Amino acid sequence: MRIIVDYKDSLSGLKKLKIDSAKYLSDYVIRIIFNDGNERLVDFKPFLTKSLHPTIKKYLDENKFSSFSLTDGNLNWNDYDLIFPISDLYNGKIGA
């Protein structure tokens, strides 16, 4: 007896979570709308101010921080210089 499982078929109903749109509001807060319709306001300021790493600290410059893009359904700063797990953004909290 041979059992064949096609995992592609079992996962086909699941939708990959991604960001449909994001808008910088002010004071390091971004409104994020996900492809499942959920919306989050994510405050990045605590993360940025607690970080000691210069690559992250430079994003305390609001012009740099607000110049993110959407890449493959995720927020991206300066060609992956700064990026966060989609699950953290979806939960509305990012850790240091």
CA dist., res. 66 & res. 62, Å (int): 6
Residue 11 domain flag: no
pLDDT tens, residue by residue, 42-77: 999 999 999 999 999 999 999 999 999 999 999 999
CATH number at residue 31: 3.30.2020.10
3-state secondary structure of 29: strand
From the CB of residue 67, how many other CB atoms can be counted at a distance below 10 Å? 12
Per-residue pLDDT band at 8 (split at 50, 70, 90): low
Number of domains in the chain: 1
Residue 63 domain flag: yes
Residue 8 domain flag: no
Its domain, for residue 54, covers 16-91
Residue 5 domain flag: no
Q: Is the dihedral of CA 24, 29, 31, 36 positive or negative?
A: positive
Residue 96 domain flag: no
Residue 1 domain flag: no
What pTM value is reported for the model?
A: 0.82
DSSP 72: T
